[in-house]
Amino acid sequence: MDLGGRYRHLGGDETKMSIEETLKERESRYGSFKRHSRIAQNIQTAMADGNWSDLSSDKREALQMIAHKIGRILNGDPNYRDNWHDIAGYAKLAEDACTTADEA
């Protein structure tokens, strides 16, 4: 089975190597996963202090993904444009989910 060239079969050494290579590549771009996790979780903890429970699930998810991307920026390569582009995309999705009194 061909899954886009990354995995030729499941459960063998080739799959394990592909995962190991992916993790190594991600660490070189985003820094250590453990440190990134700490940064992103600290941001998400701060976001929960306020009207978090009043937000719709799509707005909460957008903010969590933005926190994730900010964590990658702060822990890894701050010039990697894809992170900034993704943040704009998640913000746009949240904006599109907003309703005003005129729209309701």
Whether 103 is covered by a domain: the verdict is: no
Cβ contact 46:66 at 8 Å: no
pTM of the full predicted structure? 0.78
Give Cα separations from 52 to 11, 45, 65, 74, 95 (angstroms): 41, 10, 15, 23, 16
Q: Over the Cα atoms of the chain, what is R_g?
A: 18
Flag whether 14 is in a domain: yes
Q: How confident is the model at residue 6 (pLDDT cuts 50, 70, 90)?
A: low
The domain total for the chain is 2
Pair (89, 77) in one structural domain: yes
Same domain, 35 and 23: no
Range of the domain at 69: 31-97
- Say if residue 21 is in the same domain as residue 62: no
State how far the Cα of 40 lies from the Cα of 38, in Å rounded to an integer: 6
Alpha-carbon distance values, 50 to 29, 55, 57, 90 (Å): 32, 10, 15, 20
Position 70 scores a pLDDT of 98
| 42 plus 85 within the same structural domain | yes
Greater model confidence, 44 or 5:
44
Residue 104 domain-assigned (yes or no) = no
